[in-house]
Structure 1
Amino acid sequence: MLLSFRSTVSAFAPVLVLALSGLISASAFAQAEKSPDFTKGQALAGVCAGCHGVDGVSPVPTQPNLAGMSWQYVAKQLRHFKSGQRDNAIMKGFATALSDADMKALGVYFASMKGRPIGTKDEKLAKTAEKLYRAGDATRGIPACAGCHSPSGAGIPALYPRIGGQHAEYTVAQLTSFRAGIRGGATKEDSNPTGKMMMTIAGKLTEPEIKALSEYTAGLKAN
Protein backbone atom coordinates (compact mmCIF):
# COMPACT_ATOMS: atom_id res chain seq x y z
CA MET A 1 0.00 0.00 0.00
CA LEU A 2 2.81 2.41 0.95
CA LEU A 3 4.63 1.78 -2.32
CA SER A 4 1.40 2.17 -4.22
CA PHE A 5 0.71 5.48 -2.46
CA ARG A 6 4.20 6.74 -3.19
CA SER A 7 3.88 5.77 -6.84
CA THR A 8 0.59 7.59 -7.09
CA VAL A 9 2.03 10.73 -5.50
CA SER A 10 5.07 10.58 -7.79
CA ALA A 11 2.88 10.22 -10.84
CA PHE A 12 0.81 13.24 -9.96
CA ALA A 13 3.66 15.38 -8.60
CA PRO A 14 3.98 17.51 -11.76
CA VAL A 15 0.23 18.11 -11.75
CA LEU A 16 0.34 19.09 -8.09
CA VAL A 17 3.20 21.50 -8.72
CA LEU A 18 1.32 23.14 -11.58
CA ALA A 19 -1.84 23.36 -9.51
CA LEU A 20 0.00 24.91 -6.58
CA SER A 21 1.81 27.38 -8.82
CA GLY A 22 -1.53 28.35 -10.29
CA LEU A 23 -2.95 28.91 -6.83
CA ILE A 24 0.07 30.98 -5.84
CA SER A 25 -0.23 33.09 -9.00
CA ALA A 26 -3.94 33.59 -8.44
CA SER A 27 -3.28 34.49 -4.81
CA ALA A 28 -0.58 36.99 -5.79
CA PHE A 29 -2.91 38.58 -8.33
CA ALA A 30 -5.71 38.78 -5.77
CA GLN A 31 -3.35 40.47 -3.30
CA ALA A 32 -2.23 42.93 -5.98
CA GLU A 33 -5.86 43.80 -6.75
CA LYS A 34 -6.45 44.64 -3.10
CA SER A 35 -3.33 46.77 -2.70
CA PRO A 36 -3.53 50.58 -2.62
CA ASP A 37 -0.93 50.75 -5.40
CA PHE A 38 -3.06 48.56 -7.69
CA THR A 39 -6.18 50.66 -7.08
CA LYS A 40 -4.29 53.89 -7.68
CA GLY A 41 -2.55 52.50 -10.75
CA GLN A 42 -5.83 51.28 -12.20
CA ALA A 43 -7.27 54.78 -11.84
CA LEU A 44 -4.24 56.35 -13.51
CA ALA A 45 -3.94 53.81 -16.33
CA GLY A 46 -7.03 54.85 -18.26
CA VAL A 47 -5.03 57.35 -20.29
CA CYS A 48 -2.43 54.65 -21.10
CA ALA A 49 -4.92 52.30 -22.81
CA GLY A 50 -4.93 54.11 -26.15
CA CYS A 51 -1.31 53.16 -26.87
CA HIS A 52 -0.68 50.25 -24.51
CA GLY A 53 -4.06 48.49 -24.63
CA VAL A 54 -6.75 48.04 -21.98
CA ASP A 55 -5.16 44.70 -21.08
CA GLY A 56 -1.59 45.98 -21.28
CA VAL A 57 -1.08 44.44 -24.74
CA SER A 58 -0.65 47.24 -27.24
CA PRO A 59 -2.80 47.28 -30.39
CA VAL A 60 -0.05 49.38 -32.00
CA PRO A 61 3.09 47.36 -32.92
CA THR A 62 5.38 50.34 -32.48
CA GLN A 63 4.23 50.77 -28.86
CA PRO A 64 5.29 48.38 -26.08
CA ASN A 65 3.21 45.80 -24.29
CA LEU A 66 3.34 46.53 -20.55
CA ALA A 67 1.36 43.55 -19.23
CA GLY A 68 3.52 41.42 -16.96
CA MET A 69 6.39 43.92 -16.89
CA SER A 70 7.95 44.29 -13.43
CA TRP A 71 6.73 47.36 -11.55
CA GLN A 72 10.32 48.43 -10.94
CA TYR A 73 11.07 48.53 -14.66
CA VAL A 74 7.89 50.44 -15.52
CA ALA A 75 8.58 53.00 -12.78
CA LYS A 76 12.20 53.39 -13.89
CA GLN A 77 11.22 54.07 -17.50
CA LEU A 78 8.65 56.64 -16.40
CA ARG A 79 11.35 58.39 -14.35
CA HIS A 80 13.61 58.39 -17.39
CA PHE A 81 10.88 59.90 -19.58
CA LYS A 82 10.19 62.56 -16.96
CA SER A 83 13.85 63.53 -16.61
CA GLY A 84 14.49 63.43 -20.35
CA GLN A 85 17.02 60.63 -19.92
CA ARG A 86 14.84 58.66 -22.32
CA ASP A 87 13.62 60.85 -25.16
CA ASN A 88 9.96 60.67 -26.14
CA ALA A 89 7.89 63.85 -26.29
CA ILE A 90 4.54 62.11 -25.80
CA MET A 91 5.70 60.04 -22.83
CA LYS A 92 7.45 63.01 -21.27
CA GLY A 93 4.16 64.89 -21.38
CA PHE A 94 2.42 62.11 -19.45
CA ALA A 95 5.29 61.35 -17.07
CA THR A 96 5.93 64.96 -16.06
CA ALA A 97 2.70 65.06 -14.06
CA LEU A 98 3.44 61.81 -12.21
CA SER A 99 4.98 61.51 -8.75
CA ASP A 100 7.27 58.62 -7.82
CA ALA A 101 4.31 57.06 -5.98
CA ASP A 102 2.18 57.36 -9.13
CA MET A 103 4.88 55.65 -11.17
CA LYS A 104 5.10 52.76 -8.73
CA ALA A 105 1.31 52.41 -8.71
CA LEU A 106 1.17 52.22 -12.49
CA GLY A 107 3.97 49.66 -12.43
CA VAL A 108 2.14 47.49 -9.90
CA TYR A 109 -1.03 47.66 -12.00
CA PHE A 110 0.67 46.59 -15.24
CA ALA A 111 2.77 43.96 -13.46
CA SER A 112 -0.44 42.28 -12.27
CA MET A 113 -1.63 41.73 -15.84
CA LYS A 114 -0.99 38.55 -17.76
CA GLY A 115 0.97 39.14 -20.92
CA ARG A 116 0.62 37.03 -24.03
CA PRO A 117 2.97 36.37 -26.93
CA ILE A 118 2.37 38.47 -30.01
CA GLY A 119 3.86 35.75 -32.17
CA THR A 120 6.42 36.00 -34.91
CA LYS A 121 5.48 37.04 -38.43
CA ASP A 122 8.53 35.36 -39.96
CA GLU A 123 9.33 31.95 -38.45
CA LYS A 124 12.27 31.37 -40.78
CA LEU A 125 13.92 34.66 -39.83
CA ALA A 126 13.21 34.13 -36.12
CA LYS A 127 14.86 30.71 -36.21
CA THR A 128 18.14 32.25 -37.35
CA ALA A 129 18.33 34.23 -34.08
CA GLU A 130 17.73 31.35 -31.67
CA LYS A 131 21.42 30.53 -31.20
CA LEU A 132 22.38 34.18 -30.73
CA TYR A 133 19.60 34.68 -28.17
CA ARG A 134 20.42 31.55 -26.19
CA ALA A 135 24.21 31.37 -26.49
CA GLY A 136 25.41 34.74 -27.77
CA ASP A 137 28.55 35.04 -29.90
CA ALA A 138 31.76 34.88 -27.88
CA THR A 139 33.89 35.66 -30.93
CA ARG A 140 32.32 39.13 -31.07
CA GLY A 141 31.88 39.65 -27.34
CA ILE A 142 28.10 39.32 -27.50
CA PRO A 143 26.61 37.62 -24.41
CA ALA A 144 23.52 35.45 -24.57
CA CYS A 145 20.33 37.53 -24.40
CA ALA A 146 18.84 34.71 -22.32
CA GLY A 147 21.37 35.36 -19.57
CA CYS A 148 19.59 38.57 -18.55
CA HIS A 149 16.19 38.26 -20.19
CA SER A 150 15.81 34.52 -19.40
CA PRO A 151 15.27 31.68 -21.91
CA SER A 152 11.53 32.41 -21.98
CA GLY A 153 11.98 36.17 -22.31
CA ALA A 154 10.42 36.81 -18.89
CA GLY A 155 13.44 38.82 -17.76
CA ILE A 156 14.60 39.28 -14.18
CA PRO A 157 12.23 41.54 -12.20
CA ALA A 158 13.79 44.80 -11.00
CA LEU A 159 16.82 44.30 -13.23
CA TYR A 160 16.04 43.25 -16.79
CA PRO A 161 12.72 43.67 -18.62
CA ARG A 162 10.37 41.11 -20.01
CA ILE A 163 10.89 40.96 -23.79
CA GLY A 164 9.10 37.71 -24.59
CA GLY A 165 5.95 38.38 -26.59
CA GLN A 166 6.91 41.99 -27.25
CA HIS A 167 6.08 43.51 -30.65
CA ALA A 168 8.98 42.92 -33.04
CA GLU A 169 8.63 46.44 -34.47
CA TYR A 170 9.01 47.98 -31.02
CA THR A 171 12.02 45.80 -30.16
CA VAL A 172 13.72 46.71 -33.44
CA ALA A 173 13.26 50.40 -32.64
CA GLN A 174 14.71 50.04 -29.13
CA LEU A 175 17.74 47.98 -30.18
CA THR A 176 18.38 50.49 -32.97
CA SER A 177 18.19 53.35 -30.45
CA PHE A 178 20.64 51.59 -28.13
CA ARG A 179 22.93 50.93 -31.07
CA ALA A 180 22.87 54.59 -32.11
CA GLY A 181 23.42 55.81 -28.53
CA ILE A 182 20.02 57.51 -28.45
CA ARG A 183 18.83 55.34 -25.57
CA GLY A 184 20.88 54.14 -22.61
CA GLY A 185 22.59 57.33 -21.50
CA ALA A 186 23.45 58.23 -17.92
CA THR A 187 22.78 61.26 -15.72
CA LYS A 188 24.10 62.43 -12.35
CA GLU A 189 20.97 60.96 -10.77
CA ASP A 190 21.10 57.62 -12.61
CA SER A 191 24.29 56.02 -13.92
CA ASN A 192 22.07 53.54 -15.81
CA PRO A 193 24.51 50.59 -15.99
CA THR A 194 22.02 48.33 -17.77
CA GLY A 195 21.46 51.00 -20.40
CA LYS A 196 25.19 51.30 -20.99
CA MET A 197 25.45 47.53 -21.29
CA MET A 198 22.68 47.47 -23.90
CA MET A 199 24.39 50.23 -25.88
CA THR A 200 27.56 48.13 -26.00
CA ILE A 201 25.79 44.92 -26.98
CA ALA A 202 23.48 46.50 -29.56
CA GLY A 203 26.47 48.26 -31.07
CA LYS A 204 27.86 44.86 -32.04
CA LEU A 205 24.67 43.66 -33.71
CA THR A 206 23.99 43.98 -37.42
CA GLU A 207 20.65 45.27 -38.70
CA PRO A 208 19.64 41.78 -39.92
CA GLU A 209 20.47 40.36 -36.47
CA ILE A 210 18.37 43.03 -34.76
CA LYS A 211 15.40 42.17 -36.97
CA ALA A 212 15.87 38.43 -36.45
CA LEU A 213 16.20 38.74 -32.66
CA SER A 214 13.11 40.92 -32.53
CA GLU A 215 11.09 38.34 -34.46
CA TYR A 216 12.41 35.58 -32.22
CA THR A 217 11.53 37.31 -28.95
CA ALA A 218 8.05 38.21 -30.25
CA GLY A 219 7.28 34.50 -30.34
CA LEU A 220 8.55 33.66 -26.85
CA LYS A 221 5.97 32.70 -24.24
CA ALA A 222 7.20 34.56 -21.17
CA ASN A 223 4.44 33.41 -18.78
Structure 2
Amino acid sequence: MKPFASHVTAALLAACFALPALTASAAESPAAHGPAGAPAAAPAPAPAVAKPDLNLGSTKFTAVCAACHGADGNSGTPVNPKLAQQHPQYLVKQLQEFKAGKRVSPVMQPMAAQLSDADMKNIAFWAASQKAKTGFAKDKDLVALGERIFRGGIADRQVAACASCHSPNGAGIPAQYPRLAGQHADYVATQLTAFRDGARTNSPQMTAVAARLNDREIRAVADYVAGLR
Protein backbone atom coordinates (compact mmCIF):
# COMPACT_ATOMS: atom_id res chain seq x y z
CA MET A 1 0.00 0.00 0.00
CA LYS A 2 2.86 2.46 0.69
CA PRO A 3 4.27 2.36 -2.87
CA PHE A 4 0.78 3.18 -4.25
CA ALA A 5 0.45 6.21 -1.90
CA SER A 6 3.90 7.34 -2.84
CA HIS A 7 3.00 7.25 -6.55
CA VAL A 8 -0.24 9.23 -5.92
CA THR A 9 1.61 11.89 -3.94
CA ALA A 10 4.20 12.26 -6.66
CA ALA A 11 1.50 12.64 -9.32
CA LEU A 12 -0.33 15.31 -7.30
CA LEU A 13 2.86 17.29 -6.77
CA ALA A 14 3.66 17.18 -10.48
CA ALA A 15 0.18 18.45 -11.34
CA CYS A 16 0.46 21.34 -8.87
CA PHE A 17 3.81 22.46 -10.24
CA ALA A 18 2.41 22.31 -13.77
CA LEU A 19 -0.61 24.55 -13.01
CA PRO A 20 1.19 27.92 -13.00
CA ALA A 21 2.65 27.23 -16.41
CA LEU A 22 -0.73 26.20 -17.81
CA THR A 23 -2.44 29.21 -16.25
CA ALA A 24 0.15 31.59 -17.67
CA SER A 25 -0.21 30.04 -21.10
CA ALA A 26 -3.99 30.39 -20.99
CA ALA A 27 -3.78 34.02 -19.82
CA GLU A 28 -1.30 34.90 -22.53
CA SER A 29 -3.23 33.34 -25.38
CA PRO A 30 -6.12 35.84 -25.79
CA ALA A 31 -3.75 38.82 -25.74
CA ALA A 32 -1.47 37.37 -28.38
CA HIS A 33 -4.05 35.77 -30.63
CA GLY A 34 -7.50 36.33 -31.98
CA PRO A 35 -10.31 33.74 -31.96
CA ALA A 36 -9.18 30.13 -32.19
CA GLY A 37 -5.55 31.14 -31.81
CA ALA A 38 -5.46 33.34 -34.93
CA PRO A 39 -2.92 36.22 -34.91
CA ALA A 40 -4.31 39.58 -33.70
CA ALA A 41 -5.41 41.93 -36.49
CA ALA A 42 -2.97 44.72 -37.41
CA PRO A 43 -4.10 48.33 -36.70
CA ALA A 44 -6.09 49.82 -39.56
CA PRO A 45 -4.01 52.17 -41.72
CA ALA A 46 -4.78 55.89 -41.54
CA PRO A 47 -7.11 57.04 -44.32
CA ALA A 48 -5.28 58.55 -47.27
CA VAL A 49 -5.54 62.34 -47.63
CA ALA A 50 -7.05 63.22 -50.98
CA LYS A 51 -4.79 65.25 -53.22
CA PRO A 52 -6.16 68.51 -54.63
CA ASP A 53 -7.65 68.21 -58.11
CA LEU A 54 -6.41 71.20 -60.09
CA ASN A 55 -8.79 70.53 -62.98
CA LEU A 56 -11.80 70.64 -60.66
CA GLY A 57 -10.25 73.64 -58.94
CA SER A 58 -9.98 75.49 -62.25
CA THR A 59 -13.59 74.69 -63.13
CA LYS A 60 -14.94 75.77 -59.75
CA PHE A 61 -12.78 78.90 -59.68
CA THR A 62 -14.11 79.94 -63.10
CA ALA A 63 -17.70 79.38 -61.97
CA VAL A 64 -17.50 81.02 -58.54
CA CYS A 65 -14.43 83.23 -58.21
CA ALA A 66 -13.25 84.53 -61.59
CA ALA A 67 -15.81 87.33 -61.92
CA CYS A 68 -14.23 89.18 -58.98
CA HIS A 69 -10.71 87.76 -58.79
CA GLY A 70 -9.82 87.45 -62.48
CA ALA A 71 -9.71 84.41 -64.74
CA ASP A 72 -6.18 83.54 -63.58
CA GLY A 73 -6.50 84.80 -60.01
CA ASN A 74 -5.06 88.23 -60.83
CA SER A 75 -7.86 90.57 -59.95
CA GLY A 76 -7.99 93.72 -62.04
CA THR A 77 -10.17 95.49 -59.48
CA PRO A 78 -8.22 97.12 -56.62
CA VAL A 79 -10.85 96.32 -53.99
CA ASN A 80 -10.68 92.59 -54.76
CA PRO A 81 -7.49 90.76 -53.81
CA LYS A 82 -5.21 88.90 -56.16
CA LEU A 83 -5.34 85.19 -55.30
CA ALA A 84 -2.73 83.93 -57.77
CA GLN A 85 0.33 82.42 -56.08
CA GLN A 86 -1.19 82.83 -52.63
CA HIS A 87 -0.41 80.09 -50.12
CA PRO A 88 -3.19 77.48 -50.49
CA GLN A 89 -3.44 76.78 -46.76
CA TYR A 90 -4.11 80.47 -46.15
CA LEU A 91 -6.81 80.58 -48.83
CA VAL A 92 -8.52 77.48 -47.42
CA LYS A 93 -8.49 79.01 -43.94
CA GLN A 94 -10.08 82.24 -45.18
CA LEU A 95 -12.78 80.40 -47.14
CA GLN A 96 -13.61 78.23 -44.12
CA GLU A 97 -13.85 81.30 -41.91
CA PHE A 98 -16.07 83.13 -44.40
CA LYS A 99 -18.35 80.08 -44.48
CA ALA A 100 -18.43 79.82 -40.67
CA GLY A 101 -19.02 83.57 -40.25
CA LYS A 102 -15.74 84.06 -38.40
CA ARG A 103 -14.67 86.48 -41.13
CA VAL A 104 -17.55 88.71 -42.13
CA SER A 105 -18.20 89.75 -45.72
CA PRO A 106 -21.64 90.17 -47.32
CA VAL A 107 -20.07 89.19 -50.65
CA MET A 108 -17.82 86.31 -49.65
CA GLN A 109 -20.01 84.55 -47.11
CA PRO A 110 -22.67 83.40 -49.61
CA MET A 111 -19.92 82.43 -52.06
CA ALA A 112 -18.10 80.31 -49.49
CA ALA A 113 -21.35 78.79 -48.23
CA GLN A 114 -21.78 76.87 -51.49
CA LEU A 115 -18.29 75.32 -51.34
CA SER A 116 -17.41 71.97 -49.78
CA ASP A 117 -14.06 71.42 -48.06
CA ALA A 118 -12.87 69.61 -51.21
CA ASP A 119 -13.96 72.56 -53.37
CA MET A 120 -12.02 74.97 -51.18
CA LYS A 121 -8.90 72.84 -51.33
CA ASN A 122 -9.11 72.41 -55.11
CA ILE A 123 -9.68 76.14 -55.68
CA ALA A 124 -6.90 77.16 -53.31
CA PHE A 125 -4.27 74.89 -54.84
CA TRP A 126 -5.28 75.88 -58.36
CA ALA A 127 -5.01 79.60 -57.50
CA ALA A 128 -1.65 78.99 -55.85
CA SER A 129 -0.39 77.39 -59.06
CA GLN A 130 -1.06 80.57 -61.07
CA LYS A 131 1.63 83.21 -61.52
CA ALA A 132 0.94 86.47 -59.69
CA LYS A 133 1.25 89.62 -61.74
CA THR A 134 3.51 92.31 -60.34
CA GLY A 135 2.11 95.51 -58.91
CA PHE A 136 3.43 99.01 -58.47
CA ALA A 137 3.73 101.58 -55.69
CA LYS A 138 1.91 104.75 -56.67
CA ASP A 139 2.70 107.36 -54.01
CA LYS A 140 6.41 108.15 -53.94
CA ASP A 141 5.95 110.43 -50.93
CA LEU A 142 4.58 107.54 -48.84
CA VAL A 143 6.59 104.60 -50.12
CA ALA A 144 9.72 105.45 -48.07
CA LEU A 145 7.65 105.52 -44.87
CA GLY A 146 6.00 102.26 -45.87
CA GLU A 147 9.37 100.63 -46.41
CA ARG A 148 10.61 101.74 -42.98
CA ILE A 149 7.56 100.28 -41.25
CA PHE A 150 7.54 97.09 -43.32
CA ARG A 151 11.23 96.40 -42.72
CA GLY A 152 11.80 97.86 -39.28
CA GLY A 153 8.43 98.40 -37.60
CA ILE A 154 7.82 101.32 -35.23
CA ALA A 155 9.88 100.72 -32.10
CA ASP A 156 8.36 103.38 -29.83
CA ARG A 157 4.86 101.98 -30.42
CA GLN A 158 5.92 98.34 -30.35
CA VAL A 159 4.87 97.75 -33.96
CA ALA A 160 6.71 94.71 -35.27
CA ALA A 161 8.28 94.79 -38.71
CA CYS A 162 5.86 93.37 -41.28
CA ALA A 163 8.81 91.56 -42.88
CA SER A 164 9.25 89.38 -39.79
CA CYS A 165 6.06 87.49 -40.69
CA HIS A 166 5.53 88.30 -44.36
CA SER A 167 9.26 88.04 -45.30
CA PRO A 168 11.39 90.92 -46.68
CA ASN A 169 10.17 90.41 -50.24
CA GLY A 170 6.52 89.99 -49.23
CA ALA A 171 6.39 86.28 -50.12
CA GLY A 172 4.98 85.38 -46.71
CA ILE A 173 5.48 82.14 -44.81
CA PRO A 174 3.45 79.21 -46.18
CA ALA A 175 0.52 78.02 -44.06
CA GLN A 176 1.02 80.84 -41.55
CA TYR A 177 1.27 84.27 -43.14
CA PRO A 178 -0.06 85.32 -46.56
CA ARG A 179 1.85 86.55 -49.55
CA LEU A 180 1.58 90.35 -49.83
CA ALA A 181 3.96 91.11 -52.71
CA GLY A 182 2.15 92.84 -55.57
CA GLN A 183 -1.20 92.90 -53.78
CA HIS A 184 -3.50 95.84 -54.55
CA ALA A 185 -2.73 98.72 -52.20
CA ASP A 186 -6.42 99.57 -51.84
CA TYR A 187 -7.21 96.04 -50.68
CA VAL A 188 -4.31 95.93 -48.20
CA ALA A 189 -5.25 99.33 -46.76
CA THR A 190 -8.89 98.26 -46.40
CA GLN A 191 -7.91 95.09 -44.52
CA LEU A 192 -5.49 96.88 -42.19
CA THR A 193 -8.16 99.45 -41.40
CA ALA A 194 -10.71 96.68 -40.79
CA PHE A 195 -8.32 94.95 -38.37
CA ARG A 196 -7.64 98.24 -36.57
CA ASP A 197 -11.31 99.23 -36.30
CA GLY A 198 -12.58 95.78 -35.28
CA ALA A 199 -14.48 95.05 -38.48
CA ARG A 200 -12.20 92.07 -39.19
CA THR A 201 -11.48 89.88 -36.18
CA ASN A 202 -10.10 86.57 -37.50
CA SER A 203 -6.47 87.36 -36.65
CA PRO A 204 -5.73 88.66 -33.13
CA GLN A 205 -2.10 89.20 -34.14
CA MET A 206 -3.05 91.52 -37.00
CA THR A 207 -5.60 93.33 -34.86
CA ALA A 208 -2.86 94.12 -32.33
CA VAL A 209 -0.48 95.40 -35.01
CA ALA A 210 -3.02 97.49 -36.93
CA ALA A 211 -4.35 99.05 -33.72
CA ARG A 212 -1.07 100.98 -33.45
CA LEU A 213 -1.10 102.39 -37.01
CA ASN A 214 -2.67 105.63 -38.16
CA ASP A 215 -4.30 106.17 -41.56
CA ARG A 216 -1.17 107.59 -43.17
CA GLU A 217 0.98 104.68 -41.99
CA ILE A 218 -1.57 102.17 -43.24
CA ARG A 219 -1.61 103.78 -46.67
CA ALA A 220 2.19 103.87 -46.70
CA VAL A 221 2.57 100.16 -45.90
CA ALA A 222 -0.12 99.22 -48.41
CA ASP A 223 1.52 101.23 -51.18
CA TYR A 224 4.93 99.76 -50.42
CA VAL A 225 3.82 96.11 -50.53
CA ALA A 226 2.04 96.71 -53.84
CA GLY A 227 5.44 97.26 -55.44
CA LEU A 228 7.23 94.32 -53.82
CA ARG A 229 8.45 91.52 -56.08
The TM-score normalised by the length of structure 2 is 0.75
Q: Structure 1, unaligned stretches of length 5 or more? A: 1-34, 186-194
CA displacement, residues 95-139 of structure 1 (integer Å, 9 cap, x when unaligned): 101111111111100000111222111123112211110011221
Q: 1:145 aligns with which of 154, 157, 162?
A: 162
AA at the equivalent of 2:58: Q
Aligned-residue sequence identity (percent) comes to 47
Q: 1:37 aligns with which of 36, 45, 53?
A: 53
Kindly report which structure 2 residues correspond to 1:171-186, keeping only aligned pairs within 5 A, or say none: 171-185=188-202
Q: Structure 2, unaligned stretches of length 5 or more? A: 1-50
Q: In structure 1, what is the Cα distance between the partners aligned to 2:143 and 2:201?
A: 25
Shift, 1:184, TM fit: 2.2
The corresponding residue for 2:90 is 73
Partner of 1:128, secondary structure, is: helix
Q: 2:135 aligns with which of 96, 118, 128?
A: 118
AA at the equivalent of 1:215: D
Q: In structure 2, what is the Cα distance between the partners aligned to 1:176 and 1:146?
A: 19
Change in CA separation of 1:36 and 1:171 when aligned onto 2, cut-off 3 Å: closer
AA at the equivalent of 1:199: T
Runs of 4+ in 1 over 3 A off after TM superposition: none
Whichever of the two has the greater Rg, that structure is 2
Kindly report which structure 2 residues correspond to 1:1-223, keeping only aligned pairs within 5 A, or say none: 36-46=52-62, 47-185=64-202, 195-221=203-229
Shift, 1:42, TM fit: 0.6
The TM-score normalised by the length of structure 1 is 0.77
Q: In structure 1, what is the Cα distance between the partners aligned to 2:165 and 2:91?
A: 17
